[in-house]
Amino acid sequence: MEALAAFRHPWVLVLLVIPAALCLWAWQRRGRALALPFDHVPQARDSRMRFLLRAAECLPALVLAGALFVLAGPQSWAEPRSKRALTNIQFCVDVSGSMTAQFGSGDRYDAAMVAINSFLERRDGDAFGLTFFGNNVLHWVPLTNDISAFRCAPPFMHPRNLPSWFGGTEIGKALRACRKVLAERPDGDRMIVLVSDGYSSDLSDGADEEIAREMRADGIAVFSVHIAEGAIPEEVVRIATLTGGEAFKPEDEGGLDSIFARIDTMAKAKLEKSQAEASDDYVAWCLAGLGALLALLLASFGLRYTPW
């Protein structure tokens, strides 16, 4: 059965009984006797010549067999290769007014976007989405493998360019919006990277644990980057811990880059074995058929019973 699986149309091989029967007939037939003058003279039998003549008669059948093998569609199976498993990563970036505060050589928003773009280069093959939030939520980039939109986003969504009604910080609303986006992805791991500098009142009164349960039910890990002075809000730490992620607090731009590098190592890209793929493999059978055809052409010049 494994041998038949190496052909796209294995039923064609049933026709091989035709060239097999022709070969059998060539070796067993006696042919018609033709009396010649020298037949009445004792002749030594040449078994080698008889063998060559019989073999030459089988060559047309071998050419036919080669054609049938080609028509059956021979295939070869490649070794299964390791394929990078997809991770769906949704960036959830705070664009409230406080993100314009000084951080390193620029402000918090600019430093966060530079670190995110650097992180993308280390995660080639994953799908990325970008969500901005304040009191409202805007899904700027849908989950995609094309990261060019991330490069263009910073100037347009800088907090200084946004209307006042977009200010504020509602982390709970933003996380639920990102969860909805990730839950629609049937394949791959799911992860949210939250970048914020504030406290969110919509995470109080047990809302943080409720959000964590929802995230965990959907297999979503939350990593938080608190880009501000002071301690990380306990609610954010609790969400990150309960979902299998972690909360970080960078002190400067270098620390921010180190945090994203740490997230990369914690959420390592997985490798999975892909199925072996079949590809057409006609070369060997074509060469065998052409070889038999060439031998038949050469034999027709001398190896035959009736040279006239």
Residue 20 lies in a domain: yes
Residue 239 lies in a domain: yes
Q: Are residues 70 and 90 in the same domain?
A: no
**The pLDDT of residue 134 is above 70:** yes
Residue range 88-92: mean pLDDT, rounded:
92
Residue range 151-176: mean pLDDT, rounded:
84
List the end-to-end C-alpha distance of the chain, in Å, as a whole number: 47
Q: What is residue 74's DSSP assignment?
A: B
Residue range 33-53: mean pLDDT, rounded:
61
Residue 289 lies in a domain: yes
Q: Are residues 66 and 214 in the same domain?
A: no
Q: Are residues 268 and 202 in the same domain?
A: yes
How many domains does the chain contain in total?
A: 2
Residue 159 lies in a domain: yes
Positive or negative, the CA dihedral 102, 107, 109, 112 is: negative
Percent of the chain past pLDDT 70, that is, above it, reads 83
Residue 40 lies in a domain: no
Q: Are residues 162 and 218 in the same domain?
A: yes
104 versus 234: which is more confidently predicted?
Answer: 234
- pLDDT for 303: 60
Q: Are residues 145 and 245 in the same domain?
A: yes
- pLDDT for 176: 94
Residue 306 lies in a domain: no
Q: Are residues 232 and 259 in the same domain?
A: yes
Q: Are residues 238 and 284 in the same domain?
A: no
How far is it, in rounded angstroms, from Cα 34 to Cα 22? 23
Residue 110 — φ and ψ, nearest 5°? -60, -45
Residue 68 lies in a domain: yes
Q: How far is CA 71 from the centre of its chain?
A: 31
Residue 41 lies in a domain: no
Q: Are residues 264 and 143 in the same domain?
A: yes
Residue range 59-85: mean pLDDT, rounded:
74
What residue numbers bound the domain in which 294 lies? 4-28+47-78+276-299
Q: Are residues 241 and 96 in the same domain?
A: yes
CATH code, domain with 236? 3.40.50.410
**The pLDDT of residue 28 is above 60:** yes
Residue range 270-275: mean pLDDT, rounded:
52
Start-end of H helices in 13-141? 17-28, 47-71, 108-122
Q: Are residues 120 and 252 in the same domain?
A: yes
Q: What is residue 7's DSSP assignment?
A: B
123, 219 contact by CB (below 8 A)? no
**The pLDDT of residue 187 is above 80:** no
Mean pLDDT of the chain: 81
**The pLDDT of residue 223 is above 90:** yes
- Model confidence at 25, in pLDDT bands (50, 70, 90)? confident
Q: Are residues 140 and 227 in the same domain?
A: yes
Q: Are residues 245 and 289 in the same domain?
A: no
182 versus 76: which is more confidently predicted?
Answer: 182
